[in-house]
């Protein structure tokens, strides 16, 4: 019997439930005994969490035995569990503490997050728990505190949950650097990674473990759980007409409602908060049966969210409309159906969401995809194929961000004094920084100390100083304290509380909303939030005051939040599907017909090329192309194409992009252009630099880097400085730095971010390379079927170009008109 | 109200207390009658003041401010330059200037017939060794030049101190830029310094000066735009009785 490996209290616990430990759980035990780092890949519901903790429980029991309950035993932190979500560590505490109590192991398990009180923090330092559940930011704080070694020195195991979500982000960089520091203090601590969906297994296995100075990479051992039953994915083929564009999904809601009625409990996933609000509202309007349906998204007040979660756990709800806030592994209730409204944008995200249904491994999870427009049918079909083939995509692991390194360097100097050479060796053991060259590191180091400017005038204001012992430390305790207040890599857009009251003062906080959204509201405007139509009354202090409105429809249609780009991987599958009529069989007849007419009137885009259509319309000339590379890459392409068209004297006027196409228009006919020259890759050079330097996106990116790197401080509640003023002054700083030291390391950091993030430059570059010499031009006398969706975006999406200056000109023209009247 | 007399690429001409003035897109103000160019709130060495407290802003703000100032001075070539207070971010700002910037500033000052430093709250005692005269306030015809607006001041006051900027509402979005603020009687100059932030003209502090939201001349990239208060939005709405 395999359970023989387990100490009796744990073995008994399993057998009392009539369970046997799963083989991957025992494998994890074996890896731990062999002292190996391990990456556990197991589907949700497969006992992954217990698999991660089991070696710690066994080891703690073996060392402490019955002495565990002795209040006077020496306390030492044994296991550090790190997850991306605050809520997740609370949830795991619940799912772990109960079994551990039932096993009678007498262990202390505690959480530590940004919400943990100062007194509890102090107590944890004096009497560490056996297992501490926390977040990457808290680890960064430990690193930036004196005596980190005495607290963390006994550590035996580090568990990183949802590792696939953390590793590709800046938070992952910070975590990786924090783990490198842990390796110094507790060199023998084993590392364990947990994930349900992993695309790049080797990449994560490398990410997880310390890298040696040698040229070769080190990897964690991979342990796999049983795959579980194949999910059962259906794509909704609605009776109603499928819209050409838009993301409301209204046409499908009748069917969605019926499915909700039939299921035990349904999670309805949507991609944006505005979509969540709108879908929730529409479902309520058709809710003739008064089904208990709730709403859950990241902007709602935590109390509101906790209420919904509790109701789910009790089984009191029939459905929850939610965003990515419920993506990750919180197990709230007996969900038997997942509905995805709109395309999932990536197969990994879809898999993750499918995992929310049916946490029992052996039954297939059931999912319904409800595309919101015709193109999304293609995307959903591609995603279903990918899931069937168990083919995952994911954000690629990139080199570690420089701004995060700057924060970490300063943090280390705020903790125990550090040696510069030793710190370089230490950070090179973190996988994202393994290839870092010494020169860049030294520049970052100097940045943390003095700002690292060519004009060395700040030497006397250093933030870090080198002592007689050769070690670096924060110059003053105040500097260290200020650094600790600014730890973390999440830079929030300025937010305002939404407070509802019937009249005057007081009222209840519904959640938070982006300041820029509120700024465009005029008192009396109505909008959707927290599942209700609210009337904006004005702003007081840091809160948007609202009252409930009886209007059925909001006046201000939506606010956006969190749009995912189509993953490269799914895009490829979609391109393949579109070019090949044989593969259209699964698509609804309406969609097939749309593609057939496209084939007839124009051409189908080929997977290995680029289709470009030109046509006149309403005294303007349009050029529409179909790269299928996602909105971000298309916007960048649009920006670059219009610059080039400008130089060709084609008088371009604007462009709009959607997930698969880009439409540019102007005053001259573009059908005679040399398209290979127009789409030539060299547009990624000077044009890109010139445009980027001026763009708001770059300024925003710079601001984030400046905050993370510690150049600019975050704002805190009660501080006079508003988020708006921070934005403003970083723009000024960016302008000055660009003018006087364009090669500064922070400019480099911002450029790197922009290239991979907001602008998707890397992806665009690959696309241009792919289509070189394979551009097909079709000259039309009218719009093609495939062009309709992107053309419908005109007027809904902002048109890019010299929009800012023209706002001023328009406003000024109005004044002149008024003066002349 | 602003009457737009003529429009050139760089500046906008308007009248204040009977004088014809030119608002330059750099944020400087030209008074042709007295051949004087006015700039406000240069805030030299603001960057190093932040560095002293641990925020290592790029140490190029003084150089950048000097560069822009040099440019507009060269273009207009006035006999007299008037710096309308808060020229130096703090009392020892001049001491923190690099040798090069100091030299550049001295050369700029000495190349003019007159250079006048008006005292500001940040620099109640502007340095005396850089050249130029120091005044608390200055009269030019009907115009009174001082750093801070005075309560109940007469027609013709030109001041700085408040760093006005305007947020102009467009279709679906708004643009926020530095601006001259005026009601035709008084004028608040935009800040000229490279790191100086702005205060929305709808803010109480500026509304208090004019008794209402003022008209603005907004500094655009290529030109100065005259914009009426109706087009302006505050940074944050406040509850108002309607």
Inter-residue contact A160 to A193 (CB < 8 Å): yes
Q: Indicate the residue of B98, B171, B220 with minimum beta-carbon distance to A457.
A: B98
Asked whether the CA dihedral B134, B137, B138, B143 is positive or negative, the reply is positive
Give A-chain residues touching B171 at CB under 8 angstroms: 807
A293 and A210, same structural domain? Answer: no
Q: Are A808 and B177 inside 8 Å of each other by CB?
A: yes
Give A-chain residues touching B233 at CB under 8 angstroms: 519
- Domain-embedded: residue B240: no
Give B-chain residues touching A820 at CB under 8 angstroms: none
Which residues of chain A are under the pLDDT cut of 70? Answer: 1-4, 44-45, 86-91, 213-214, 328-333, 358-362, 492-494, 503-505, 515-516, 519-522, 540-542, 555-566, 694-696, 715-729, 757-759, 795-808, 810-821
In DSSP notation, A681-707 reads GGGGTHHHHHHHHH-HHHHHHHHHHHH
- Domain-embedded: residue B61: yes
Mark out the alpha helices in A315-437 (DSSP H runs).
347-354, 374-388, 402-414, 420-428
A132 and A81, same structural domain? Answer: yes
A638 and A513, same structural domain? Answer: no
Among A487, A536, A559, which residue's Cα sits nearest to residue A708? Answer: A487
Q: Tell me the nearest-neighbour CA distance from B179 into chain A, angstroms.
A: 12
- Binding-face residues of A in 701-730 toward B, CB within 8 A: 711-713, 722, 724-725, 728-729
Q: Are B55 and A808 inside 8 Å of each other by CB?
A: no
- Domain-embedded: residue A217: yes
Q: Are A537 and B174 inside 8 Å of each other by CB?
A: no
Q: Indicate the residue of A521, A736, A809 with minimum beta-carbon distance to B61.
A: A736
Residue A749: CB atoms within 10 A of its CB come to: 25
- Binding-face residues of B in 85-104 toward A, CB within 8 A: 96, 98
Please report the pLDDT score of residue A723 as a whole number.
Answer: 39
Q: Are A728 and B98 inside 8 Å of each other by CB?
A: no
Q: Are B48 and A461 inside 8 Å of each other by CB?
A: yes
Please report the pLDDT score of residue A524 as a whole number.
Answer: 79
- Domain-embedded: residue B53: yes
Q: Indicate the residue of B196, B225, B228 with minimum beta-carbon distance to A808.
A: B225
Give A-chain residues touching B51 at CB under 8 angstroms: 451, 458, 461
- Domain-embedded: residue A582: no
- Domain-embedded: residue B239: no
The angle at the Cα of A183, spanning A177 to A189, to the nearest 5 degrees, equals 125
Q: Is the ipTM of this complex over 0.95?
A: no
Last residue of a domain, one of A174, A206, A224: A224
* Closest residue on chain A to B227 (Cα): A812
Q: Tell me the nearest-neighbour CA distance from B208 into chain A, angstroms.
A: 19
Supply the DSSP symbol for A557: -
- Binding-face residues of A in 520-579 toward B, CB within 8 A: 520-523, 537-540, 545
Give B-chain residues touching A805 at CB under 8 angstroms: 220-222
CA–CA separation, A755 and A776 (whole Å):
28
A519 and A377, same structural domain? Answer: no
A242 and A193, same structural domain? Answer: no
Give B-chain residues touching A818 at CB under 8 angstroms: 228
Inter-residue contact A664 to A620 (CB < 8 Å): no
B70 touches chain A (CB under 8 A): no
Per-residue tokens: A315? 């089984």
Inter-residue contact A393 to A386 (CB < 8 Å): yes
* Closest residue on chain A to B216 (Cα): A812
Tokens 């015809």, located at residue:
B141
Please report the pLDDT score of residue A167 as a whole number.
Answer: 93
A485 touches chain B (CB under 8 A): no
Q: Tell me the nearest-neighbour CA distance from A712 into chain B, angstroms.
A: 6
- Binding-face residues of A in 736-755 toward B, CB within 8 A: 736-737, 739-741, 744
- Domain-embedded: residue A628: yes
Tokens 């609000």, located at residue:
A277
Please report the pLDDT score of residue A499 as a whole number.
Answer: 86
Please report the pLDDT score of residue A816 as a whole number.
Answer: 54
Q: Are B58 and A463 inside 8 Å of each other by CB?
A: no
Which pLDDT tens digits describe chain B residue by residue (242 residues)?
Answer: 344 444 457 889 999 999 999 999 999 999 999 999 999 999 999 999 999 888 899 999 999 999 999 999 999 999 999 999 999 999 999 999 999 999 999 999 999 999 999 999 999 999 989 999 999 999 999 999 999 999 888 899 999 999 999 988 765 567 889 999 999 999 999 999 999 888 999 988 999 999 999 999 999 888 899 999 988 988 754 333 22
Q: Indicate the residue of B3, B56, B174 with minimum beta-carbon distance to A450.
A: B56
Q: Tell me the nearest-neighbour CA distance from B204 into chain A, angstroms.
A: 14
Among A611, A614, A623, which residue's Cα sits nearest to residue A578? Answer: A611
Q: Indicate the residue of A545, A728, A744 with minimum beta-carbon distance to B197.
A: A728
- Domain-embedded: residue A479: no
Q: What is the number of structural domains in chain B?
A: 1
CA–CA separation, A337 and A121 (whole Å):
40
Per-residue tokens: A17? 């439930």
Q: Are B238 and A540 inside 8 Å of each other by CB?
A: yes
Please report the pLDDT score of residue B60 as a whole number.
Answer: 95
Q: Are B58 and A523 inside 8 Å of each other by CB?
A: no
Among A380, A338, A333, A371, which residue's Cα sits nearest to residue A355? Answer: A338
DSSP three-state, residue A14: helix
Give A-chain residues touching B173 at CB under 8 angstroms: 520, 798, 803, 807
Q: What is the number of structural domains in chain A?
A: 4
Please report the pLDDT score of residue A801 as a whole number.
Answer: 46
A172 and A24, same structural domain? Answer: yes
CATH number at B130 reads 3.60.21
* Closest residue on chain A to B233 (Cα): A519
- Domain-embedded: residue B37: yes
- Domain-embedded: residue B175: yes
A501 touches chain B (CB under 8 A): no
A774 and A717, same structural domain? Answer: yes
A250 and A210, same structural domain? Answer: no
Mutate to test the interface with B, among A446, A475, A514, A732 (most CBs of B within 10 A): A732
CATH number at A313 reads 3.40.50.300
Last residue of a domain, one of A344, A365, A388: A388
Give B-chain residues touching A814 at CB under 8 angstroms: 228, 231
- Please count the CA atoms within 13 angstroms of the CA of B26 that sit on its side-chain side: 23
B218 touches chain A (CB under 8 A): yes
Q: Are B56 and A722 inside 8 Å of each other by CB?
A: no
Q: Indicate the residue of B58, B169, B236 with minimum beta-carbon distance to A733.
A: B58
Residues 6+ apart with CB under 8 A from A812: B218, B225, B226, B227
- Domain-embedded: residue A417: no
- Domain-embedded: residue A398: no
Range of the domain at B40: 11-145+155-231
Alpha-carbon separation of residue A145 from A77, A410, A685 (angstroms) = 16, 11, 44
- Domain-embedded: residue A370: yes
Q: Tell me the nearest-neighbour CA distance from B222 into chain A, angstroms.
A: 9
Range of the domain at A629: 602-805
Last residue of a domain, one of A197, A224, A251: A224
- Domain-embedded: residue B185: yes
A656 touches chain B (CB under 8 A): no
Please report the pLDDT score of residue A812 as a whole number.
Answer: 67
Q: Are B235 and A453 inside 8 Å of each other by CB?
A: no
- Domain-embedded: residue A618: yes
Q: Are B60 and A741 inside 8 Å of each other by CB?
A: yes
A778 class by beta-carbon count within 10 Å (0-12 exposed, 13-18 middle, 19+ buried): middle
Per-residue tokens: A600? 């007839």
Q: Are B59 and A724 inside 8 Å of each other by CB?
A: no
B141 touches chain A (CB under 8 A): no
Q: Are B242 and A523 inside 8 Å of each other by CB?
A: yes
């Amino acid at each position: 019997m395999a359970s023989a490996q387990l100490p009796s209290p744990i073995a008994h616990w399993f057998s009392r439930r009539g369970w046997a430990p799963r083989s991957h759980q025992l494998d994890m035990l074996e890896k731990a005994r062999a002292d190996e780092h391990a990456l556990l890949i197991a589907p949700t519901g497969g006992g992954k969490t217990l698999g991660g903790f089991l070696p710690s429980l066994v080891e703690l029991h073996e060392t402490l035995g019955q002495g565990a309950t002795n209040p006077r035993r020496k306390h030492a932190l044994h296991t550090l569990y790190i997850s991306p979500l605050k809520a997740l560590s609370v949830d795991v505490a619940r799912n772990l503490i109960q079994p551990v109590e039932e096993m009678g192991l007498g262990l202390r398990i505690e959480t530590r997050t940004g919400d943990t009180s100062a007194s509890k923090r102090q107590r944890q330092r004096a009497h560490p728990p056996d297992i501490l559940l926390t977040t990457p930011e808290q680890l960064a704080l430990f690193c930036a505190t004196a005596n980190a070694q005495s607290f963390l020195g006994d550590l035996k195991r580090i568990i990183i949950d949802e590792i696939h979500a953390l590793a590709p982000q800046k938070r992952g960089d910070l975590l990786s650097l924090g783990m490198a520091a842990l390796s110094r203090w507790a060199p023998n601590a084993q590392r364990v990674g947990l994930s349900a969906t992993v695309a790049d297994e080797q990449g994560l296995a490398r990410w997880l473990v310390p890298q040696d100075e040698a040229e070769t990479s080190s990897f964690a051992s991979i342990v796999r759980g049983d795959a579980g039953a194949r999910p059962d994915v259906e794509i909704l083929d609605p009776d109603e007409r499928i819209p050409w564009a838009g993301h409301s999904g209204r046409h499908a809601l009748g069917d969605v409602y019926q499915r909700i009625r039939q299921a035990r409990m349904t999670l309805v996933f949507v991609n944006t908060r505005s979509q969540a609000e709108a879908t929730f509202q529409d479902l309520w309007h058709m809710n003739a049966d008064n089904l208990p349906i709730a709403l859950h998204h990241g902007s709602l007040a935590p109390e509101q969210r906790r209420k919904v979660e509790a109701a789910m756990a009790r089984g009191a709800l029939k459905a929850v409309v939610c965003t990515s806030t419920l993506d990750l592994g919180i197990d709230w209730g007996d969900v038997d159906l997942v509905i995805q409204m709109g395309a999932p944008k990536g197969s990994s995200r879809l898999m993750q969401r499918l995992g929310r249904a049916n946490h029992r491994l052996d039954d297939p999870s059931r999912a319904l995809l409800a595309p919101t427009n015709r193109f999304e049918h293609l995307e959903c079909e591609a995603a279903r194929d990918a899931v069937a083939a168990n083919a995952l995509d994911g954000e690629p692991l990139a080199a570690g961000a420089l701004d995060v390194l700057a924060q970490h360097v300063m943090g280390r100097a705020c903790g125990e004094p550090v040696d510069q050479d030793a710190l370089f060796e230490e950070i090179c053991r973190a996988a994202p920084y393994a290839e870092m060259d010494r020169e860049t590191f030294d520049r970052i180091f100097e940045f943390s100390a003095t700002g690292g400017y060519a004009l060395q005038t700040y030497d006397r204001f250093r933030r870090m100083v080198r002592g007689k012992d050769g070690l670096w430390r924060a110059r003053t305790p105040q500097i260290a304290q200020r650094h600790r207040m600014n730890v973390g890599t999440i830079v929030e857009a300025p937010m305002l509380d939404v407070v509802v009251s019937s009249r005057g003062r007081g009222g209840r906080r519904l959640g938070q909303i982006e300041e820029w959204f509120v700024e465009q509201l005029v008192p009396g405007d109505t909008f959707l939030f927290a599942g209700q139509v609210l009337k904006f009354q004005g702003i007081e202090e840091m809160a948007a005051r609202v009252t409930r409105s009886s209007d059925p429809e909001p006046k201000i249609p939506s606010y956006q939040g969190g749009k995912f780009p189509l993953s490269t991987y799914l895009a490829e599958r979609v391109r393949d599907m579109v070019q090949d009529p044989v593969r259209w069989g699964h698509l609804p007849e309406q969609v097939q017909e749309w593609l057939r007419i496209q084939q007839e009137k124009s051409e189908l885009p080929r997977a290995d090329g680029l289709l470009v259509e030109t046509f006149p319309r309403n005294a303007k000339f349009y050029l529409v192309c179909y790269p299928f590379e996602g909105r971000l890459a298309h916007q960048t392409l649009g920006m670059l194409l219009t610059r080039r068209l400008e130089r060709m004297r084609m008088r371009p006027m604007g462009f709009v992009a959607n997930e698969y196409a880009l439409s540019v228009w102007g005053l001259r006919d573009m059908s005679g252009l040399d398209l290979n020259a127009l789409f030539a890759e060299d547009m990624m050079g000077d044009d890109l630099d010139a445009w980027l330097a001026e763009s708001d996106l770059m300024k925003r990116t710079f601001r984030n880097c400046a905050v993370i790197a510690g150049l600019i401080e975050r704002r805190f509640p009660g501080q006079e400085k508003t988020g708006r003023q921070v934005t403003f002054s970083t723009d000024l700083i960016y302008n000055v730095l660009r003018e006087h030291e364009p090669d500064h390391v922070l400019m480099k950091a911002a450029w790197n971010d922009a290239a991979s993030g907001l602008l998707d430059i890397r992806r665009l570059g690959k696309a241009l390379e792919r289509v070189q010499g394979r551009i097909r031009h079709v000259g039309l006398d009218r719009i093609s079927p495939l062009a309709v969706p992107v053309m419908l975006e005109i007027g809904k999406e902002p048109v890019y170009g010299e929009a800012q200056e023209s706002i001023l000109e328009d406003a000024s023209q109005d004044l002149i008109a008024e003066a002349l009247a | 109200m602003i009457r737009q007399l003529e429009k050139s690429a760089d500046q906008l001409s308007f009248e204040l207390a009977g004088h014809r003035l030119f608002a330059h897109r750099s944020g400087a103000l030209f008074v042709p009658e007295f051949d004087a160019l006015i700039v406000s709130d240069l805030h030299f060495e603001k960057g190093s003041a932040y560095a002293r407290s641990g925020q290592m802003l790029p140490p190029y703000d003084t150089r950048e401010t000097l560069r822009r100032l040099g440019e507009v001075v060269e273009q207009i070539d006035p006999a007299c330059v008037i710096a309308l207070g808060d020229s130096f971010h703090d009392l020892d700002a001049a001491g923190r200037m690099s040798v090069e910037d100091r030299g550049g500033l001295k050369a700029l000052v000495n190349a003019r017939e007159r250079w006048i430093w008006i005292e500001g709250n940040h620099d109640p005692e502007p340095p005396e060794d850089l050249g130029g005269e120091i005044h608390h306030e200055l009269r030019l015809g009907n115009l009174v030049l001082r750093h801070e607006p005075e309560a109940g001041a007469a027609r013709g006051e030109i001041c700085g101190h408040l760093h006005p900027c305007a947020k102009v509402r467009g279709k679906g979005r708004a643009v926020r830029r530095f601006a001259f603020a005026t009601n035709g009687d008084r004028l608040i100059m935009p800040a000229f310094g490279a790191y100086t932030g702005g205060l929305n003209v709808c803010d109480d502090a500026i509304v208090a000066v004019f008794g209402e939201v003022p008209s603005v001349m907004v500094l655009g990239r290529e030109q100065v735009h005259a914009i009426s208060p109706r087009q302006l939005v505050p940074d944050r709405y406040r509850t108002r009785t309607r």
